Every structure is written in structure tokens, then in C-alpha cells.
Amino acid sequence: MDGIEKTSIQDIDFGDASKNILTLPMVALRGKVILPNVFTSFDVGRIKSLNAINAAVDKNDSLIFVAVQRDARKENPLANEVCSIGTVCRIKHLTRMPGDNVRVNVDALYCAQIVINAKDDTKYFTVGIREVYPDYGDENETEAYLRFVKNELNRYVSSDSTKLNKDLFSTILTVEKADEFVNAATYSMNFKESEKQRILELTNVKDKLFRFYQLLVHELEIAKAEKDISDRIKASVEKSQREFYLREQLKAIHAELGDNENEKEELAQKIKDKKMPKEVEEKALKELFRMGKMNPSSPDYMVLNTYLDWLLDLPFAEESTDREDLTEAIQILNDDHYGLEKVKERIVEYLAVLKLTGKVGGSILCLYGPPGVGKTSIAKSVARALNRKFVRMSLGGVKDEAEIRGHRKTYVGAIPGRIIYAMKEAGTVNPVILLDEIDKLSSDLRGDPASALLEVLDPEQNATFRDRYLEIPYDLSKVLFITTANSLDTIPAPLRDRMEIIELNGYTRNEKCEIAKRYLISKSINKNGLNENKIEFKENAVYRLIDGYTREAGVRTLEREIGSVCRKVATLVAEGKRRRKYTVGEKEVKELLGAERFSYTDELREDEVGACTGLAWTAVGGTTLTVEVALMKGKGELFLTGKLGDVMKESAKIAHSFVKLHAEELGVLDEEFSSHDVHIHVPEGATPKDGPSAGVTMVTAITSAFTGRKVRGDIAMTGEVTLRGKVLPIGGLKEKSLAAFRLGIKNVIMPKANVKDLEEIPENIRKEMKFIPVDTVDGVLKNALLK
């Protein structure tokens, strides 16, 4: 508050009265004068003020002295820059406000004057004050003044032009003490703060009433002038100009309140320039019109403002130009990834259709395969090859349908769903959006996000996708959606039906070596602060890492092991122990990483009775498993262990029944079954196992146990068996064959119906392995059991 002059109250010789001096903490207020006999509140946030409040509360009486600073623009006023006349208040309640502020509710008790000034270098102002008593003078004259002022105030409050709180002033008019009345009335009037301070500093009650009356007359004249101006304007404005007048008056009100009317005009222009579809533009302008009629401090105003910001941030006409040069696109895909021919071929087909028709093919690609084979990175390369923006959206663990469709904007804190958020992030209408880990979606009572994705991933529907927050149709038809999954079993059938499945199988040993040489080694060298002059990997070192330190379908663990070697070499370089180029061979790998974690030769089985190697498929690629069978004296019961699933348990029972049915052909006496219990165990009991493809493995192991014939240790097998001894086809032959190859097993017994799948196995591996197709159990036993 500007312009408050120093008080001119005459100094008093206190003499013995100095014992009435009271020492209190002081708060300097900005732009607010508190008068006695009122209950009010004020906010404090400055350190000195907060310290003063805390000091007052710590005392039993909770008294504090408040006075207004002369210059409201000063952030940290000195003690002599605060008015010497103020009010002693009792703190009633404190409320914590946002931004470390505190709202203080006080009961203003009496007027007081500073007689001992505060020091500026303390944590808070502490002043010595003395109460200033009101001087009533001639009581009859004062009473006459009081009645006269009350009548004038009542007339002003009752007039139609006033905007004061009539109920509040009805209570004030009942106050009988002149000093209390003038204090309460002054505080509640819309006087300037400097005038309120002037009335506070007057000690003579008659002078206070007289000054209050002068200010009241001034307010009456202003109200009368406003009414005259309003009447003259209304009389001169024609009916056709009424709307214009109201808008101008609204602009004046907004300008007085500090609102920016131009902002709404700018928003309207932005909406028109955005090139939105007609339906969307009409919706946006309608919401803008609603917003213009609201108070800016209203919560609904902010909701609509945020909504319009979202509409303006979304792309409607912005589109990136697709790369039409197929040769260049193929080169980008080959530069970024080794292998993955199926994916590259499909992307090239997509580009070819786009080039010929100028339209998106409309298919949704699902890259399906074990972890670490490059599903996410190939999606980034697709975006680069197409010259489109790329946005990744992880769906792992998403349970709420609103994550996809958004919340209605009536909810507090509502935002659009992830699809719209991805479009905003991309900034174009034709990005590549990767829906990562789509098989990890789950559902609960809040809905099923997989069902919400049906509309998003359906080319026939996503041209009019409706997000609950936006409440408008949004075109997703130009978006290339790519999804990734480790397993198809957990993806709902309707959702799976909308996607084109492209399977990415595990890499062979040679492919992993090539990927390491082309990408992983250089990436790890740069990541660890090295260069090609400080470290070099020999090819045999890479093969040693693949064979001895990793066992995976992809190359993620291989990348970590290469990174581990680089970090150890970087440590040697940083410590100054190695100045020459470090060449990493087989020997150096073992020195840096320690003993090998996996040994394929050690895991190769010897020829044994009652043990057979089977092949299985998992979400992370193929693997081998051993089926063990033990005979014990008993009553012919069958025991199954190894955490087997229902289908695998049924396969075990079928295998046991088959051997019993063909006991004579196999050379087993019938009494052997009735006098022995059969225990089938599949090791790694903590790992769940299921599926029918271990049927032939169990038949072979059971037959071996009863006949005493050894099972070849250099052979693995897969296939479902029936009670009639037929061997039925299975899935995942490529992954299972690669698992056998990694283990060093070169002979694989497989169903004859799967011969067509051998083409999927890399040619170099097919040449090194021997595949034995069979269609009956007799063929299995003939090749697996030794005589």
C-alpha cells in the first residue's frame, strides 16, 4: 500500500506509566489495515512474519501486534518502515495454505502505539507497545454524531446501488459504543487502506465519526455518479445495440479484473486455423463459448481450458511424408538388423502397396517371439525406414480400460487415454505406434483394456475412434500399429484375430556371433568409454561367450556379458594397468568373467536306462528336458512329479497305458506291471511344465525301464502319442531343434507330419543335424533304444 504517512500522534511522557508497556511480536502487513473490535484473518508467508506468529502462539496469551507497512511493494521492510499505530490481536486459529503460507484468524482487541522500536537484525520484529485509549470528549456531542452517522450509513446500505453485505451492516448498526461502531464499520467499508489507517490513528471518537462520515459521503457521490452514467448509457443504446453494449461491459469487467479477453479471441482463431474436421471444430467453438461465459476462477473454466489445449495440441492435418524409395528403406532395415527376413519382407510389401495405392494397407502387425530377439528395435527401424515419427507405449501390467479410452472430463484430474496421448506426442496423424508387451495386459473390476483395444486395432473402426475425454471422433486409420508379444496364449482371440502375426524365432549360434560383431560389440565399446584402439574381440571369444556364458533365444544376455568384459577392460585402462590394445580371446574371456556358467558337453547324457531327452517350447525359445522313470516294488500305481500340467499328466498316463497294452510285443511280462509302481519325474521341479509333445519321450523312458534297454544319449525327441501308438504333429519345431543343437545333440526324432516345418530351420543347421521322421511309436523305439 503506497502513500501512508508517518503518524502525527503527539509523543507522551510516560513517567511511571512505562510499566504499562507490553512487549509483543509484530507482523508487518501489506495492503491490509486491521482495526479493533473485528474478527478477521490475514495470510503470512514471509520468514519474519511466520517466526513472529510462532513466537506469539508459543505464549499462553497468543497476543500479537499487527501494523501496516507504508510501502506495500517492499518485500522485507525495515522496522522504521512500518506504521507506529496498529492493533493488538489474539490469534484464534492457524491454517496451513499452499506454498508454505499460513492463514491467521485473529480477534482484534485494541489500538496500540509502538514506544520501543524493533531491531532489524532479529528473527522477527519485537516491539514495546502501549494501549491507546479512545477519547470520547463531550459524550452528548459524540452520541449525536453517532446517531447521525448511523442514519446516513443505513440509508447508503439500503439503497439499490450499493453492493455491500446488508446482513453484516445490519449487525454493525446495532453496536452501541461509538468507538467500536466506527472501527467495525470502517473495516467493512470499501475505503482505501490509507483512509482506514488514518481513522485508526485518530484517538478522538468524534473526529473518527466525522472522518467516517466524510468518506461515506464520498462513496454516496460515487454510487450516484455510477447510476447516472449507467442510466444515460442505457437510455442512448438502442435495442439492436444491446448485445454489443453487454459485450463491451463484459470486456471492461474482465479488464478491471485482470482477465485477458484477447486470449479467448486468440483461442478461437487457433481453432479455425487448426484445420480440424467440421464436427470437431464446432465442438471446440461451442466449448470456447461456454468457457467465455464462466468466471475464470471457476473450476469448470479450467476444465474447459485444459480440454481446448488438448484439442489444439492434437494433430489433425499434420502428416509426415512417407519414404517411397524401396531400395533406401530396405538398406535402412538391413543396416539396423541382421536376419529377421520375414519382418523385413512384410515391411517392404507394406511400402510397395503404399507406393502403388497411396493408402495405408490397414493391417496391424504383431511381432511375436522370445525376449531379446529384437522386436522393439525392429519397430523403431520400421519407423525410420518409413520416415515416420515413432512412439512406444508399454502395455505391461495395464489393468484399467480408462488407460486406453481415457476418463470423462467431468472427473477431477481427467486426461485422455494413452492412444490420444501417443498421438499428441507424435505430432502427426501417421506415426508408427508400438504397443509393447500386448500379451501382458490384464483386467479387473475397472474393465478390460484388451476389449478397448479392439476398436483401436480394427482398420474398419479406428477411423472414428472416440476417447471418453475428447468426446469426438478421432481418425487413427493412418497410424501404423505394431504390437509385440512373447506369447500368443494370453492374447484374447478377438484381439489376436485383428493382427497379422509375424513370428521372430530365436537366433542360431552363427547369427548371434554375426549380430555381436556388427552391433553389440561396437555399442558396448562406445558405452564404456573405450574405442577400437583399446580393445578388440576375436571371433572365438564371441563364440565362447555364446556357448559358455549365455543360454537364450535372443542376444540380451550376450550383450550384458560383452558389456561386462568391456567394463573390466575399462577398469584396467582407467587404473593405468593397460596401455596397449587389449585383444579378447577365449583365454581372456575366462580370465575376465571367471568359470563358464554352462557346459554343453557336460550336459550331454550317457546312454542310460529309464532316462530320455525330450524337447519343449517356452516363451523364451526352445529347451531340452529329461524324463526319468524309476520302477519300485508295489501294486502297479503311477506316480508323477516335476510340477506337471494337466495335459502332460494325461500324456504320462497314455504312455503308461500304451506300454501295458503292448507289453508282449516289447518283451515285458504282464506281472511286472502289477508288481511294480512306476514313478515318472521331470527334473527342475519348481518350473511348471505342460503340453502333449513329451508323449514319445515318456513312452521311450518307460519302455527302457521295463526292458532294461538303454536310451541313446545323443538323441532327442518330440511328438504327441496316442493309445494306438500314432505319433501326432507338434508346434515349435524350429525352436526345439535349435535347443537340441545348442546342447550338442545332432539327432532328433520328430513326427512325420512336421517334415514340412524343416524349411524354417536355417540351412547350415539342417546340414549338421539328422532329423528322423516317424509316424508310430515303433519307429521311435527302433531309433532310440539300444539292443
Catalytic residue set: 693, 736
**First CA to last CA distance, the chain:** 109
User: How far is residue 412's CA from residue 619's CA, in Å, rounded to a whole number?
Assistant: 41
Phi-psi bin for 785: left (phi > 0), alpha (psi -120 to 50), beta?
Answer: beta
Name the residue among 246, 284, 245 with its Cα closest to residue 264.
Answer: 284
Burial level of 583, CB count in 10 A (0-12/13-18/19+)?
Answer: exposed
User: How far is residue 751's CA from residue 591's CA, in Å, rounded to a whole number?
Assistant: 44
Cell 511375436 belongs to residue: 368
Strand bridging mode 432-436 / 480-485: parallel
CB within 8 Å of 174: residues ≥ 6 apart: none
Task: Check if the beta carbon of residue 294 is closer than 8 Å to that of residue 304.
Answer: yes
Cα→Cα distances 4→187, 196, 204, 214, Å: 17, 10, 20, 19
Name the residue among 249, 179, 182, 237 with its Cα closest to residue 212.
Answer: 182
- In one-letter notation, the amino acid at residue 143 is E
Burial level of 214, CB count in 10 A (0-12/13-18/19+)?
Answer: exposed
Cell 453484516 belongs to residue: 168
User: How far is residue 670's CA from residue 664's CA, in Å, rounded to a whole number?
Assistant: 8
Task: Check if the beta carbon of residue 711 is closer than 8 Å to that of residue 700.
Answer: yes
Phi-psi bin for 358: left (phi > 0), alpha (psi -120 to 50), beta?
Answer: left
Cell 564404456 belongs to residue: 528
Task: Check if the beta carbon of residue 712 is closer than 8 Å to that of residue 607.
Answer: yes
User: DSSP per residue over 548-569, as a string?
Assistant: HH---SSSHHHHHHHHHHHHHH
Cα→Cα distances 43→50, 59, 106, 350, 543, Å: 10, 20, 11, 65, 72
Cα→Cα distances 113→34, 119, 128, Å: 14, 16, 8
Give φ, ψ of 204 to 5 degrees: -80, 120
User: DSSP per residue over 423-446, as a string?
Assistant: HHHH-SSS-EEEEETGGG---BTT
CB within 8 Å of 691: residues ≥ 6 apart: 616, 617, 645, 647, 648, 651
Edge-first strand listing for the sheet containing 770-774: 638-641, 676-681, 621-633, 611-618, 715-717, 747-751, 770-774
User: How far is residue 77's CA from residue 30's CA, in Å, rounded to a whole number?
Assistant: 10
- In one-letter notation, the amino acid at residue 448 is D
CA atoms within 13 A on the CB side of 365: 27
Burial level of 612, CB count in 10 A (0-12/13-18/19+)?
Answer: buried
User: How far is residue 168's CA from residue 190's CA, in Å, rounded to a whole number?
Assistant: 14
User: How far is residue 192's CA from residue 567's CA, in Å, rounded to a whole number?
Assistant: 73
Residues forming beta bridges with residue 29, ordered by sequence position:
68
Task: Check if the beta carbon of residue 449 is closer than 8 Å to that of residue 441.
Answer: yes
